[in-house]
Each structure stands twice: as C-alpha cells, then as structure tokens.
Amino acid sequence: MNIAILGSTGSIGHSTLEVIRKNKKDFSINLLTAKTNHKLLIEQCEEFNPEFVYLEDEQARKVFEGNLLDKKLQTCVIQSLKEFEEIIGCNETDVVVAGMVGIAGLMPVHFAIQKGKKVLLANKESYVVAGEYLNNLCKETGATIFPIDSEHSAIHQCLNNEANKSGVSRIILTGSGGPFLNKDIEEFSSITPEQAINHPVWNMGKKISVDSSTLMNKGLEVIEARWLFDFENIEILIHPEGIIHSLVEFKDNSVLAQLSNPDMKIPIAYGLGYPNRINSGSNKLKLHEIKSLHFQEPDLNKFPCLKLAIDLLPVGGTSFSILNATNEECVAAFLDGRISYIQIYEIISKVLDRIEIKTVQSLQDIYESDKASRLEASSIINNL
C-alpha cells in the first residue's frame, strides 16, 4: 500500500512513520509534506525513500533541494500546490494521512475525499467545520475516513463499522478532564499559559493543550463525532487515567469500550491496517499495574467552552466554523498574554452572538465565516 503523509514532520507524521517502520514490507511512501522543517524531512527521505516531497515554505524547499542533491537521493520535489493535489489524487496514492493542524488541512482533506481515497484523519478541524459537507462528498466518491483521534478511533472500533446504527443508543466520549479538573473555579481567572499547556496524560502541541484545559477540545470532538458517525446522542464522561478511549452503548444497554495505553500509534495502526490488525509498536496495557479507573460527569459551569460546543450541535451550518476560528484566535491571544484564561470563553461567546450563522452550500461559505469570525475576535481583543 502506498501512503501520502501530509505533515510528516509533526507528531502525527512522526507516529505514522513509526508504525510504518514496524510494517515495512506492507507499506511504501508516495508523498511526504512539511511546512518548513527541511532537516527532519531529509532524514525521513533517507530512511523511507518517498517518491515525492512537498515543502510549503519556498526558502526551506531550496535548502532541501540542495541537500537532496548532496545525498544523491532520487526523491522528486513538488513545486506547486497544483502538483501536490495531483499526487494526492493519483492512482498510485492509496492512503492519505492528514496530519497537519488547523483549517489549512481542509483543502487537502477535501481533495483526497473528492478523489475517493482512504483518509486517515488527524486534522479534526476539517470535520468540525465541514463534517456534513464532507460526509455527503464521501457518499458520492466512496472515500472512507479513519479517525486518528484516540476517542473517535475507539468509537469506530466499538461500532465495528456497523452501517446500520439503529442498534446504537448512545456514544460516550471520554476525556481526561485536563490539568484543571480539580482546580477551584475561583482560581480560573489567574491561570497562566504555562499552567494551561501542562497536560497530565497526553504530550501535545500548545494550541491543543490549551483546548484540552478548557475542554474546548472535547467540545470540538463532540462535533467531529457527530459527523464522523452521523449520530447525535453523544455524551461526555470524564476519565482522568485516559485508558478507556470511548464507549458505545447499544439498545440492550450493553456497552462496548476500547482500552489501551494513551498512544497515537494505536489509532494510526488501526486505520492503516483495517480491516486487519497490524503491529503498532505500542506498549501492552497492564491493568493490574493501573489498578483502578475513575469516572465523573463534566462540570459545565467550570468549563463553559464545552457547553458552547454542545449547544451548537442542533444549530449546525457555519456555527462550527465560527466556534473553531474564534477559539483559534482566542487561544493564540491567551498564549501571547493578550487576554486572560476566562476571556477565551467570553470572547467566543460574544462572536457567536454577533456573526450570522448560515447553511453550508460550499467550502466558500466556511472560509467566509472563518474569516469574518477571526476579524470580529481580533477587533474585540484589540479593543480590550
């Protein structure tokens, strides 16, 4: 099987290559892409020998090309976005791993779905903002989506690809609760970026760590799950150990759960190997060492960002892109020290009141609401 990894120098790209390293005879690399990290990309080329690479940053691309010549590697460097799309869509690409972050992932994900590819989706933003639209497109083109998000992969595994969900009564999405699960609500106003990016279970980028601390990440995951599984009855369960990655309840009140150590290589190996199971290289789960698992309901007063996201489920349309864009702006402002922790929620809530929510007819509608929301958020932040 031939794989295109978009964002190969990031954490998902890194984990994907680790899984491929364990299964070298079954997979080859067609395309690796990165934004600027030409140093790591050349190391990946030496080891995995991809047919093509694409570096978004022109300066980095030039340096990379020089290094490629020095090392006498055969990899072909793509020069334009158009060529990049052609490689994603070509017959030689079987699987597209969408590992890049942010709304920038929407275009390539859309393109891979248009071409009917098997997509391993780590870019949750694309399904948050355009889930309904992309679902319809999947039906037309026969593209399949395998979520690389521990919770959504767990749900996928519990559903066992059941096309008919009439037997399912509830999806229960778990979350660790983040670093402030037991913090007094009175102390929330003084939370610093350093405290917010210190996640107890997962080691992640700054943006997603802040989202995990506000539980906005869980809110975005509820929206993502709503579209990935075309199912609305989704509840959140706080589970600090992060061992049960999610559960599915059926009509007879039987509940299936997926358990493993927190390790992204498991969802990646599940998606790459499906319908077979392959070696993920992850450590075995030792429940006798963990001994006990804990659960509680989420506190929506303490974590109002989660409530914002849940309340948007029946609203739909561009509301999800307003939420996502405004959150990105607010988290960046918080990390820069321009707004306080509790202002993240206050500003998102204001922007949701101010920007008109429309139905999504095309990706253009999403890009427009994304832009309008960012402008509105920036103007609120600048006038504070």
Residues lying near Mg ion in the complex (CB under 5 A): 149, 151
Helices 216-228, 319-335: crossing angle, 10 deg rounding:
150
C-beta of 50 vs 178, nearer to Mg ion: 178
Instruction: State in angstroms the smallest separation of the CB of 270 from Mg ion.
Output: 14
C-beta of 151 vs 376, nearer to Mg ion: 151
E strand or H helix at 175, and its extent? strand 168-175
Instruction: State in angstroms the smallest separation of the CB of 345 from Mg ion.
Output: 20
Residues 6+ apart with CB under 8 A from 330: 339, 343, 344, 347, 348, 377, 381
C-beta of 151 vs 328, nearer to Mg ion: 151
C-beta of 207 vs 358, nearer to Mg ion: 207
E strand or H helix at 86, and its extent? helix 81-89
Sign of CA dihedral 129, 135, 136, 137: positive
Return the bridge partners of 23, or none: none
Instruction: State in angstroms the smallest separation of the CB of 215 from Mg ion.
Output: 12
- Asked if residues 224 and 123 have their Cβ atoms less than 8 Å apart, the reply is no
In the bound state, the residue with its beta carbon closest to Mg ion is 149
Instruction: State in angstroms the smallest separation of the CB of 150 from Mg ion.
Output: 5
d(CA 137, CA 360): 13
Instruction: State in angstroms the smallest separation of the CB of 219 from Mg ion.
Output: 12
C-beta of 173 vs 377, nearer to Mg ion: 173
- Asked if residues 322 and 103 have their Cβ atoms less than 8 Å apart, the reply is no
E strand or H helix at 97, and its extent? strand 95-98
C-beta of 125 vs 149, nearer to Mg ion: 149
Instruction: State in angstroms the smallest separation of the CB of 98 from Mg ion.
Output: 15
